[in-house]
Amino acid sequence: MDTIIIDGKALSKTIKEELRGEVERIKENGGKIPHLGAVLVGDNPASESYVRSKVRSCEQCGFKSTLIRKPANITQPQLLSIIDDLNKDEDLDGFIVQLPLPEHIDEETITLAINPKKDVDGFHPVNFGRMALGLPSYLPATPNGIMEMLKRYNIETSGKHCVVVGRSNIVGKPMSILMSGKSYPGNCTVTLTHSRTKDLKEETLRADIIIAAIGIPDFITADMVKDGVVIIDVGINRVEDETAKRGYRLKGDVDYKNVFPKASHITPVPGGVGPMTVASLLTNTFLASKNEIFD
């Protein structure tokens, strides 16, 4: 089978270039420049790196960005007060509070405090509920990125059997809703599987599309998939590798090498779903600046 590699890195670059073009046109016409805010609490190295990448991507697209850094010992009321200010800031179209937060801060309380109209992470229950009802909403970054990949590679989804592996609130659960939705990409018959699923192989063997988001390296093996399957691999697992510069390398949830020959389309790790997430955040911020989701 001639397998098509879904190149998330290239696609993310294309989306950012498109956004940059849109912003240039807005600037020429004196319109509102998209403005993203990011709150970073503490000094978790992974969070620092994610937020840096988000801010850098804003610059690349001509967006405004505001980074608010606070020490790990910030109190919950102090953080809520910052969120209140950001909710009221008229120039700011959307903002994110980078997770995880220190243990003394309740992430749910923080998420609920963000005005859903500015919730470009798509984590607020109002956005989740709107998505589930098929109403315009800010989609969380990973599901948004996956939908965009399916769209831009013209992958047929209508009437297909989609098996989602993993039921997290930010990937598996929303993907199962989106893929069963009455629009493209969607109209699939969806099976949502998880750690308690019996005979997972029996389910994945029937899949035309597999979305693997279980967080276990090489979990989906070649004997678990049928010929012609579309593979979306959400896993970003660190596995020890002494030959690698950092002492580890990234592996997906799918045994890429052995599944590849059976797949019609497959996302690599790295360079697949991962790079799409920042593009999704920027897309949401752009939509927020145009008030296209909520009026």
Q: Active-site residue numbers?
A: 54, 98, 121
Q: Which of 108, 9, 16 is nearest to 63 (CA)?
A: 16
Q: Which of 203, 206, 207 is nearest to 179 (CA)?
A: 207
Asked whether position 207 contacts ligand GUN by CB under 6 A, the answer is no
Asked whether position 121 contacts ligand GUN by CB under 6 A, the answer is yes
Q: Which is nearer to ligand GUN, 97 or 279 (CB)?
A: 97
- Of 99, 216, 222, 236, the one binding ligand GUN (CB under 6 A) is 99
With CB under 6 A, what is the number of residues at the site for ligand GUN? 6
DSSP 205: T
Rounded to a whole number of angstroms, the minimum distance from the CB of residue 164 to ligand GUN is 18
H helix or E strand, kind and range, residue 95 = strand 94-97
Contact (CB, 8 A) for 205 and 260: no
- Of 97, 155, 214, 224, the one binding ligand GUN (CB under 6 A) is 97
Calpha distance 52→73 (Å, rounded): 21
- Of 12, 57, 98, 285, the one binding ligand GUN (CB under 6 A) is 98
Rounded to a whole number of angstroms, the minimum distance from the CB of residue 145 to ligand GUN is 10
258 exposed, middle or buried (CB, 10 Å; 0-12, 13-18, 19+)?
middle
Q: Which is nearer to ligand GUN, 96 or 231 (CB)?
A: 96
Query: Which single residue is written with the structure tokens 């397998």?
Result: 3
* Alpha-carbon 120 to chain mean position: 11
DSSP 260: G
Q: Which is nearer to ligand GUN, 113 or 163 (CB)?
A: 113
Pattern 127-166, binding to ligand GUN, x per CB under 6 A? --------------x-------------------------
Q: Which is nearer to ligand GUN, 175 or 229 (CB)?
A: 175
Q: Which is nearer to ligand GUN, 8 or 160 (CB)?
A: 8
Q: Which is nearer to ligand GUN, 157 or 285 (CB)?
A: 285
- Rounded alpha-carbon distances, angstroms, from residue 209 to 52, 113, 145, 169, 269: 33, 36, 16, 20, 17
Calpha distance 251→144 (Å, rounded): 21
Contact (CB, 8 A) for 279 and 12: yes
- Of 41, 79, 86, 96, the one binding ligand GUN (CB under 6 A) is 96
Contacts of 119 (CB under 8 A, 6+ apart): 94, 111, 126, 127, 138
Q: Return the residue nearest ligand GUN (CB atom).
A: 99
Asked whether position 39 contacts ligand GUN by CB under 6 A, the answer is no
- Under the rule (CB under 6 A), what is the footprint of ligand GUN? 96-99, 121, 141
